[in-house]
Chain A
């Protein structure tokens, strides 16, 4: 049968296979508001802790936990609907986990440096401001990280 297949037909089929693989990798699992939702929750938690009032701390923790579950739910649902094959991700070299680690360490560094600097300068609510800065970095950087991971996976996939 394959003798009857034109090379152009075979090439079209291979390109369709690549297109479907890329479609799986680029499938939107994280919504934009997932990142900003977590950023806002982080600020709420930091502000409640920094208030020093037990009631507000309790409310802040409750809002953070409930809000996180709520924000994560659609993402988890979307991820479970068609999880990318593990070995597809495994072929992505250490670049992807290293980028994730660098992102987390960078966020901690931004939050701690900002918080300590503001505290040393005598600014009010340094923790809340630091959480806001880290939240913005999380929301912007998180989306960039996901796009980077997708690009790496697509590139590795097309290299075979």
Chain B
């Protein structure tokens, strides 16, 4: 059961793109994230740090041979927050649809 909960931290456009990308992966390499979302290295680092500070993202640093390799993935808290955020967005859209639909009273001839 997902509880709708709007999350301001996730909703910021760049972070939304990042979290949505991460939500569809087990984890993602820094380079893949950077190229897919279209960010500079520094901008991506900053956003990932913000998400990591909130406990939404886990950042792993490893070495493949002599080359450093950074990857990131959503934590359980991050995934829960993302699912709740998606549910909240769906509620907002559905609510707008309901308010636009004609009510029974309005549909009746006067």
B54 at the interface (CB under 8 A from A): no
A151 to B21, CA, bound (A): 18
Q: Would you call A5 and B92 a contact (CB within 8 A)? A: yes
State the main secondary structure of chain A at its contact with B: helix
Number of B positions contacting A (CB below 8 A): 28
One of A31-39, A51-59, A81-89, A130-138 at the interface = A81-89
Q: Which of B31-84 contact A (CB under 8 A)?
A: 31-33, 36
Q: Across the two chains, which residue of chain A brings its CB closest to B24?
A: A24
Q: Would you call A10 and B93 a contact (CB within 8 A)? A: yes
Q: Would you call B21 and A20 a contact (CB within 8 A)? A: yes
A19 to B90, CA, bound (A): 16
Q: Would you call A20 and B26 a contact (CB within 8 A)? A: no
Number of A positions contacting B (CB below 8 A): 25
Count chain B CB atoms within 10 A of each CB in A11, A13, A21, A23 and give the residue with the most.
Answer: A13
Contact among A23, A83, A157 for B36, CB-based, below 8 A: A23
A17 at the interface (CB under 8 A from B): yes
A68 to B26, CA, bound (A): 26
Residues of A within 8 A of B16 (CB): 13, 16-17
Q: Would you call A21 and B24 a contact (CB within 8 A)? A: yes
Residues of A within 8 A of B92 (CB): 2, 5, 7, 10
What's the nearest-Cβ distance from chain A to residue B76, in Å?
13
A120 at the interface (CB under 8 A from B): no
Extra 17 A-B pairs, beta carbons < 8 Å, given A16-B20, A20-B23, A83-B25: A2-B92, A7-B95, A14-B86, A14-B90, A17-B16, A17-B89, A19-B20, A20-B20, A23-B21, A24-B25, A81-B29, A81-B32, A82-B27, A82-B29, A82-B33, A85-B23, A85-B26
Task: Name 15 interchain pairs, CB-CB below 8 A, sorted by A.
Answer: A2-B88, A2-B92, A7-B95, A7-B96, A16-B16, A16-B20, A17-B16, A17-B89, A20-B20, A20-B24, A23-B36, A24-B21, A24-B25, A25-B24, A86-B26
